[in-house]
Amino acid sequence: MNWPMTRQTNRQTNRPTSRILSQARKELVQFSRDRLTVALALILPLGMLLIYGYAIRLEAKNIPLSVQDLDRSPLSRSYVERLFATNQFIPAPLIDSSPLSSLDHGLAKATVVIPPHFSREVAEGGSQVQILVDGTDVNNARVIQNSIRGVTNFFIQSLPNSVRPEGIRARVRIWFNPGRQESLYIVPGIFGVVLWVFPSMLSAIALVREKEQGTAIQVYASDLSSTEWLLGKGLAYWLVAVAEAAVVMGVSGLLFGLRLQTGPFPLLLGTGIYLAAAVSFGLFVGARTGNQNGAVQGTAIVGFLTSFLLSGFIYRLENIPFPLSLISNIIPARYYILLTRDAFVRGAGWAGIWFVLPILALQGFVLFKLASKIMQSMQLSE
């Protein structure tokens, strides 16, 4: 180590904790000098938060809907009016007076075909309306089907000859998120992705850089053990990660109106452990790969794909099919997202999520152990 600080405080460095601390301090100084990495550490997480936070929405609003009204009666016109009164649909033109071609051209997502004798048939007791839905976007195909049915049921009740049968009425209440704001679902999930990818990427780059530049060998020559070295590095990048977490969560509070629904302890503790696990993952990848390119690729592709796709970030975890669902069980982001969604939306507190903390702690510990084992064997073989 050609760092003056560690030499001056030689007496202090006899104790492992102070050796770890001075290693962490050195790492932070080095980090703050590398402009590109500092910018990367702060701008990329924010950019990702903004893009995902605003652009991932599953339910379409303003769906273009075309109508082929073969009846052209007052009744059919008021039915069409009711369809567009929901604000969910916007009118789209009908091309070539064929119900299919505006779907083919992608100008409409659905076409409603009202049959020629619609109003007479309704007066006589029953008519059929055909709905053609573009099934390409599976999720919104269902949403469209549901809302047209809902509007139709509503319309039926307003008809003069509708006799509402007495029966079961559902009083539906939606909990935790009564307005069904999708941002409340997506944004806490983003924390799981962003706070995994970037802390691990930074620590992986830092570790690999020392290997590339050969300064890692100087460490082997000093009295610093490889575990202490990794702990010092890890601590420094953990602090950077805490700063990232504070920025990302603070900005989401401002932009997306996220508020803590419970006491802060589960979130604080869980985030601390999660970030430590992410940093350990980065150290592990850094220990395994030989160059910075590989380190970035490894953390970006593996960390990103798993925390994005196998964590229940966009769609329900239960929908992941069998062999992949096994992998999703060992993805830390999957557990952390449960915790953030509880803290910011559900608000049940410890009762629903206590198991998250020991699982994350175990995963972080295993990852760190693996990293230090690799570094140790490297030190011995050197």
Partner 1 sequence: MNFIRRLFESRFWALTLKEIRQILKNRQLIFLLIFPPTVQLLIFGLALSPNVDHLSLGIVDYARSSESREFVSALVENDVFDVAAYPKNQAELGQAVRNGQLIAGLVIPPSFDRDLNQGDSTDVQVLIDGVDANTAGIARGYIQQTINQYTRQLNPQFKTALIETQTRFLYNPGLSSSWFFVPGVIGLVLTLTGSLVSSVTVIREKDIGTLEQLLMTPAAGWEILLAKVVPLFILLMGDVLLASAMGRFVFQLPFRGNFFLFLALSGLYVFVSIGIGILLATLARTQQQVVLTSFFFNVPIIQLSGAIAPIESMPKFFQILSWLDPLRHYVAIARSLILKGVAVEALLPNILTLLMFAVVLLSISVRRFRSQLN
Which x/- pattern over 307-346 shows residues binding partner 1 (rule: CB under 8 A)? --xx---xxx-xxxx--x---x---------x--xx--xx
Which x/- pattern over 26-45 shows residues binding partner 1 (rule: CB under 8 A)? ----------x---x---x-
Q: Could you say which residues in the range 161-200 bind partner 1, by CB under 8 A? A: 161-163, 165-178, 180-182, 184-185
Q: Could you say which residues in the range 113-152 bind partner 1, by CB under 8 A? A: 122, 125-143, 145-150, 152
- Straight-line distance from the first to the last Cα atom of the chain, in angstroms, rounded to the nearest whole number: 17
Binding partner 1 (rule: CB under 8 A), the pick from 351, 380, 381, 382 is 351
C-beta of 218 vs 292, nearer to partner 1: 292
- By CB under 8 A, tell whether 83 contacts partner 1: no
CA dist., res. 296 & res. 70, Å (int): 60
Amino acid identity of residue 281, one-letter, is F
C-beta of 340 vs 372, nearer to partner 1: 340
- By CB under 8 A, tell whether 154 contacts partner 1: no
Evaluate the CA torsion angle 66, 70, 72, 76 in order and state its sign. Answer: negative
C-beta of 4 vs 125, nearer to partner 1: 125
CA dist., res. 46 & res. 23, Å (int): 28
CA dist., res. 189 & res. 317, Å (int): 12
Tell me which DSSP letter residue 164 carries.
Answer: P
Radius of gyration of the chain from Cα atoms? Answer: 29
C-beta of 114 vs 276, nearer to partner 1: 114
Helix (H) or strand (E) holding 178: none
Q: Could you say which residues in the range 218-257 bind partner 1, by CB under 8 A? A: none
Total binding residues toward partner 1, as defined by CB under 8 A: 106
Binding partner 1 (rule: CB under 8 A), the pick from 4, 10, 35, 62 is 62
Tell me which DSSP letter residue 162 carries.
Answer: -
- By CB under 8 A, tell whether 293 contacts partner 1: yes
**The two three-digit tokens of residue 159, written as one number:** 């008809």
C-beta of 24 vs 190, nearer to partner 1: 190
C-beta of 2 vs 128, nearer to partner 1: 128
- By CB under 8 A, tell whether 52 contacts partner 1: yes
- By CB under 8 A, tell whether 97 contacts partner 1: no
Binding partner 1 (rule: CB under 8 A), the pick from 77, 247, 352, 370 is 352
Least distance (Å) between residue 280 CB and partner 1:
21
CA dist., res. 192 & res. 7, Å (int): 40
Which residue bears the tokens 């950077």? Answer: 240
**The two three-digit tokens of residue 148, written as one number:** 């047209």
Least distance (Å) between residue 14 CB and partner 1:
37
Residue 64, strand partner residues:
90
Integer angstrom CA distances of residue 52 from 93, 131, 243, 305, 334: 32, 32, 20, 15, 17
CA dist., res. 339 & res. 188, Å (int): 9
